[in-house]
């Protein structure tokens, strides 16, 4: 009983710490990556006892700065909702990762430990639901500020996120059809099968169109460049103009956390989740016949490492896009969502259905 | 014991949120309380083992429909000071008898069946497949009729939005506005989305 509770607690804490710390680290990655891309040096001033560590202390300095700043509330603001909004934003971004598996089921001394925070047989829907609830934080922030520009920013955010989520939902359906499950763990497991005996059956190969559509819509749902019309920190006014201090920081954090969630979902659905090519429970089984037996613990560590690597690479890619593309105008983003992504997702569903019907084993 | 306590807490929050929805003067607050209420109902589904229903409840009602409600309330309904008193004030007199009748019906229903139907033996571990099978066998006709109804509603909305295009005011920069912008894919879109 105690052991079970401890294991459950450990799983939840591991996922939460993974997402939170990765999200915090992303502020540093964003600065350094953009600096390298633009041939700058980037943040390197924060130092502890002369130690600078490539600016790794900057997230820490940021946190101290945000926490000690004045927490200002406009006179016309709705007191309760103004305070609640950033928490709603962060909460739903944080819990969304819970059903994404970071490893296969672990067998330790007769116990089965699924390597994910919660096992849900509708895991895909859960992540999707949590992402869609995140809209409320943004809308509440825009409305409760008592500022028309913030309200308009909130409206832009809501419209953008709704159109992105519809495209996300429609593009996921193709993946669900191919792997025949709503459970992220069984989707990840099914991606370990081999196509024609040697190609790993990853989602990016079976559903290439859905991968592009999901990634585009996913970037839009994080409200980051090129889809940052709701925020537009530097030029246009966004939903969090009236926020200062840590509450402002929480909105920025929610965007980073959503980036982690989108990268995690992309990994779980399209990049084989925790799968390492040709690695099965007993060790490597290469298609040319060679085998390499490995102890179960090493296999699990390799799988978890593979998952984390894929998520980090995915985040790096998302950041690359963020520093490469210019911002879409609001109507362009809307048109892309409703006239580009959504119809293409529907076409992908129809196409997937036809292919599945044609290749069905009789 | 635990389940009972959890049920009482969730049901209590649900009732409180429903009361707040009716009693709050601020419409945005009311709508957000309705979201809380829908979330509690989803939690009750979850306690009954209907995980898929709970997820669908959150996605469809809390995540999609209520977002649009809140969106519309924030944009379209100004504060009381701008509209003045409600012109249809007298209609409210109807609310009490109608609500009372509904309450009476509910009480009669609940009193009528004291023993709750026993839960079906099979653990609903994979109720997604079960619901899918039911929808496409026993309930195929209602399912298809619902989709036709939704299709009709969608076409109707497009028609309403289109007929206003001639007038000078460009109303609302929502998703509909951009859909309206280009004519070509409209015909295929609503049909396809229901398939």
* Per-residue pLDDT tens over the stretch A81-106: 999 999 999 999 999 988 898 888 87
CA atoms within 13 A on the CB side of A78: 20
Binned at pLDDT 50, 70 and 90, residue B22 comes out as: confident
pLDDT for B165 equals 60
Q: Residue A293: enclosing H or E segment and its boundaries?
A: strand A291-293
Binned at pLDDT 50, 70 and 90, residue B174 comes out as: very low
Which residue did the predictor score with more confidence, B49 or A170? A170
pLDDT exceeds 90 at position B172: no
Residue A61 burial by CB count (10 A; 0-12/13-18/19+): exposed, middle or buried? middle
Confirm or reject contact between B29 and chain A (CB < 8 A).
yes
pLDDT for A298 equals 86
Indicate the residue of B56, B63, B177 with minimum beta-carbon distance to A133.
B63
- Select, from the ranges A191-205, A342-356, B160-174, the one with the highest average predicted confidence (pLDDT): A342-356
Q: Which of B78, B109, B141 is the last residue of a domain?
A: B78
Q: pLDDT tens digits, residue range B103-122?
A: 999 888 888 766 665 555 55
Q: Which tokens is A334 given?
A: 């809307």
pLDDT for B119 equals 56
How many independent structural domains does chain A possess? 1
pLDDT for A211 equals 94
pLDDT for B13 equals 95
CB A229 within 8 A of CB A328: yes
pLDDT exceeds 80 at position A71: yes
CA pair distance B128, B79, nearest whole angstrom: 44
How many independent structural domains does chain B possess? 2
**Shared domain check, B74 and B4:** yes
Does residue A20 fall inside a structural domain? no
Binned at pLDDT 50, 70 and 90, residue B179 comes out as: very low
When scoring B71, B170, B194 by the number of chain A Cβ atoms within 10 A, the one with the most, hence best to mutate, is B71
CA pair distance B88, B105, nearest whole angstrom: 27
Which residues constitute the domain of residue A195?
73-359
Indicate the residue of A162, A170, A350 with minimum beta-carbon distance to B175.
A162
**Shared domain check, B67 and B1:** yes
Binned at pLDDT 50, 70 and 90, residue B177 comes out as: very low
Q: Looking at the complex, report in whole angstroms how far the Cα of residue B56 sits from the nearest Cα belonging to chain A.
A: 8
**Shared domain check, B1 and B72:** yes
The CATH number for B74's domain is: 1.20.120.1200
Which residue did the predictor score with more confidence, A143 or A51? A143
Does residue A40 fall inside a structural domain? no
Least confident of A260-264, A279-283, B64-68, B165-169: B165-169
Does residue B74 fall inside a structural domain? yes
CB A210 within 8 A of CB A345: yes
pLDDT for A231 equals 81
Non-local (6+) Cβ contacts of A121 within 8 A are A181, A182, A183, B51, B52, B125, B126, B128
CB contact under 8 A, A128 and B195: no
Residue A270 burial by CB count (10 A; 0-12/13-18/19+): exposed, middle or buried? buried
Q: Looking at the complex, report in whole angstroms how far the Cα of residue B117 sits from the nearest Cα belonging to chain A.
A: 26
Does residue B162 fall inside a structural domain? yes
DSSP collapsed to 3 states, A38-107? CCCCCCCCCCECCECHHHCCHHHHHHHHHHHCCCCCCCCCCHHHHHHHHHHHHHHHHHHHHHCCCCCCEE
- Select, from the ranges A42-51, B28-37, B154-163, the one with the highest average predicted confidence (pLDDT): B28-37
CA pair distance A264, A268, nearest whole angstrom: 6
Which residues constitute the domain of residue B52?
1-78
Confirm or reject contact between B98 and chain A (CB < 8 A).
no
Question: What is the average pLDDT value for chain A, to the nearest integer?
Answer: 88
For chain A, the 3-state helix, strand and coil shares in percent, each to the nearest 5, are 65, 5, 30
Does residue B53 fall inside a structural domain? yes
ipTM: 0.85
Residues of A in contact with B195 (CB under 8 A): 346, 349-350
B178, closest residue in chain A (CA to CA): A335
Q: Which tokens is B100 given?
A: 């009372």
pLDDT for B118 equals 56
Q: Which tokens is B160 given?
A: 């309403």
Does residue A36 fall inside a structural domain? no
Does residue B188 fall inside a structural domain? no
Among candidates A122, A90, A120, A105, which has minimal Cα distance to A16?
Answer: A90
Does residue A149 fall inside a structural domain? yes
Q: pLDDT tens digits, residue range A163-177?
A: 888 899 999 999 999
Does residue B116 fall inside a structural domain? no
pLDDT for A346 equals 94
CA pair distance A175, A178, nearest whole angstrom: 5
> Would you say the pTM of this structure is higher than 0.80?
yes
Binned at pLDDT 50, 70 and 90, residue B164 comes out as: low
CB contact under 8 A, A165 and B35: no
Least confident of A107-116, A196-205, B75-84, B86-95: B75-84
Q: pLDDT tens digits, residue range A247-295?
A: 999 998 999 999 999 999 999 999 988 888 888 777 787 877 778 888 8
Does residue A325 fall inside a structural domain? yes
CA A231 to each of CA A73, A138, A245, A255, B163: distance values in angstroms, whole numbers, following the listed order: 19, 10, 17, 11, 33
């Amino acid at each position: 009983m105690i052991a079970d509770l401890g294991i459950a607690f450990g799983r939840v804490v591991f996922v939460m710490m993974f997402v939170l710390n990765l999200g915090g680290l992303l502020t540093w990655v964003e600065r350094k990556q953009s600096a390298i891309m633009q041939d700058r040096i980037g943040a390197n001033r924060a130092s502890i006892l002369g130690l600078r560590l490539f600016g790794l202390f900057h997230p820490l300095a940021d946190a101290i700065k945000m926490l000690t700043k004045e927490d200002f509330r406009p006179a016309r603001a709705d007191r309760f909702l103004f305070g609640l909004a950033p928490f709603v934003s962060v909460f739903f971004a944080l819990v969304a990762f819970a059903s994404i598996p970071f490893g296969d089921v672990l067998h330790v001394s007769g116990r089965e430990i699924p390597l994910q925070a919660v096992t849900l047989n509708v895991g895909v829907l859960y992540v999707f639901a949590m992402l869609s609830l995140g809209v409320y934080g943004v809308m509440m922030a825009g409305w409760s500020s008592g500022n028309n520009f913030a309200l308009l920013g909130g409206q832009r955010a809501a419209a953008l996120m709704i159109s992105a989520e519809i495209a996300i939902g429609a593009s996921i359906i193709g993946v669900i059809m191919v792997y025949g499950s709503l459970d992220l763990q069984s989707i990840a497991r099914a991606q370990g099968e081999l196509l024609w005996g040697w190609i790993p059956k990853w989602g990016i190969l079976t559903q290439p169109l859905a991968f592009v559509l999901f990634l585009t819509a996913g970037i839009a749902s994080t409200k980051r460049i090129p889809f940052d019309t709701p925020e537009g920190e530097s030029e246009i006014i966004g939903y969090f103009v009236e926020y200062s201090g840590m509450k402002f920081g929480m909105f920025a954090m929610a965007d980073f956390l959503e980036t982690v969630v989108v990268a995690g979902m992309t990994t779980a659905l399209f990049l084989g989740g925790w799968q390492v090519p040709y690695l099965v429970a007993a060790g490597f089984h290469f298609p040319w016949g060679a085998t390499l037996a490995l102890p179960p613990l090493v296999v699990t560590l390799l799988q978890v490492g593979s998952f984390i690597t894929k998520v980090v690479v995915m985040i790096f890619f998302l950041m690359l896009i963020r520093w490469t593309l210019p911002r879409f105008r609001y109507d362009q983003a809307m048109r892309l969502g409703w006239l580009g992504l959504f119809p293409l997702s529907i076409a992908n569903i129809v196409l997937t259905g036809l292919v599945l019907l044609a290749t069905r084993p009789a | 014991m635990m389940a009972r306590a959890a049920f009482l807490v969730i049901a209590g929050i649900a009732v409180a949120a429903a009361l707040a929805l009716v009693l709050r003067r601020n419409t945005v607050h009311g709508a957000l309380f309705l979201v809380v209420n829908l979330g509690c109902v989803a939690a009750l589904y979850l306690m009954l083992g209907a995980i898929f229903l709970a997820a669908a409840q959150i996605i469809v009602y809390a995540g999609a429909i209520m977002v649009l409600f809140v969106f519309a309330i924030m944009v379209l309904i100004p504060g009381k000071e701008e509209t003045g008193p409600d012109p249809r004030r007298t209609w409210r007199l109807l609310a009490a008898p109608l609500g009372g009748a509904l309450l009476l019906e509910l009480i009669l229903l609940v009193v009528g069946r004291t023993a709750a139907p026993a839960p079906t033996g099979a653990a609903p571990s994979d109720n997604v497949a079960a619901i899918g099978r039911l929808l496409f066998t026993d309930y195929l006709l209602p399912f298809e009729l619902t989709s036709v109804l939704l299709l009709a509603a969608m076409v109707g909305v497009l028609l309403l939005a289109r007929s206003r295009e001639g007038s000078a005011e460009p109303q609302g920069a929502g998703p509909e506005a951009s859909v309206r912008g280009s004519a070509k894919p409209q015909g295929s879109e609503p049909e396809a989305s229901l398939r």
